[in-house]
């Protein structure tokens, strides 16, 4: 038996998340079916992160075990031939038998995209949260700094989270601005992302963080209120859960 590591990109709009479940198509179920067809054997995938319904991935990492009858180039080409266009295998490599995409991940980076403009740009509606009202990005950056380090993130944990502990470590949290000059009708700052890198994440954690720091950017709370929200350990203390469409699993490092 060999173990294979895949890097995968997908648009999560049409799917009920990563993990196989009975209430709709998922990335995992569609990929396992496609890989099973090309490899002629049942395949069970393990992912670095279980993205929720509507969430995208630029570089998701998954692994599986197979008999090794097909070369890795055939896995990529054949897998993509059987996959829908909104899921793509970017690369495949053989890894040691003990490799585990989730347990061996050292850090994961998520980016949440915001379209800050008076008018929504239709081609970004599937990939960014449109916010019409002005946002103070300086306040957003300041609020994010209070999240860096090891904390109990109960206040940012969504319902149904099965994590054994709410304690997580955030290595970096910041804002990236993108050049939106080619998009007609967008005002400054236009397109930006809230970037969060950590050891691991709770259910809806990044989206809850985004909804809360946007409150700081709107002047509804001061940036330092994030420290108090963490201390309260209550989801009711934090802001709304941002829409799924803006969230990308951006990179997984090992």
185 Rama sector, left if φ>0, alpha if ψ -120 to 50, beta otherwise: left
- Using a 10 angstrom Cβ sphere, with 0-12 exposed, 13-18 middle and 19 or more buried, the burial of residue 181 is exposed
Please give the Cα distance from 202 to 49 (Å, whole number): 10
Active site residues: 52
245 and 131 in contact (C-beta within 8 Å)?
no
The encoded tokens of residue 218 equal: 């709107």
Residue whose pair of structure tokens reads 């709009």 in the numeric block: 13
The encoded tokens of residue 84 equal: 């829908």
The encoded tokens of residue 158 equal: 């969504």
């Amino acid at each position: 038996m060999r173990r294979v590591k895949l890097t995968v990109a997908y648009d999560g709009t049409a799917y009920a998340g990563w993990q196989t479940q009975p209430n709709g198509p998922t990335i995992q179920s569609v990929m396992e079916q496609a890989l099973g067809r090309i490899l002629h054997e049942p395949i069970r995938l393990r992912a670095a992160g279980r993205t929720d319904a509507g969430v995208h991935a630029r570089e998701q990492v998954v692994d599986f075990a197979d008999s090794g009858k097909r070369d890795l180039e055939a896995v990529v080409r054949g897998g993509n031939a059987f996959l829908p266009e909104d899921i793509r295998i970017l690369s495949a490599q053989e890894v040691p038998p003990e490799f585990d995409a989730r347990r061996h991940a050292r850090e994961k980076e998520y980016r949440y995209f915001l379209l800050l403009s008076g008018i929504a740009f239709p081609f970004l509606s599937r990939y960014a949260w449109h916010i019409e009202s002005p946002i103070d990005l300086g306040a957003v950056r300041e609020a994010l700094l209070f999240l860096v380090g090891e904390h109990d993130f109960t206040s940012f944990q969504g319902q149904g989270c099965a994590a054994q502990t709410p304690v997580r470590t955030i290595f970096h949290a910041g804002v990236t601005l993108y050049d939106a000059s080619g998009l007609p009708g967008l005002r400054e700052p236009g397109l930006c992302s809230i970037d969060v890198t950590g050891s691991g994440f709770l259910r809806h954690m990044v989206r809850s963080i985004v909804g809360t720091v946007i409150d700081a950017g709107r002047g509804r709370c001061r940036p330092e209120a994030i420290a108090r929200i963490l201390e309260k350990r209550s989801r009711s203390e934090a802001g709304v859960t941002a829409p799924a469409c803006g969230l990308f699993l951006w990179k997984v490092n090992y």
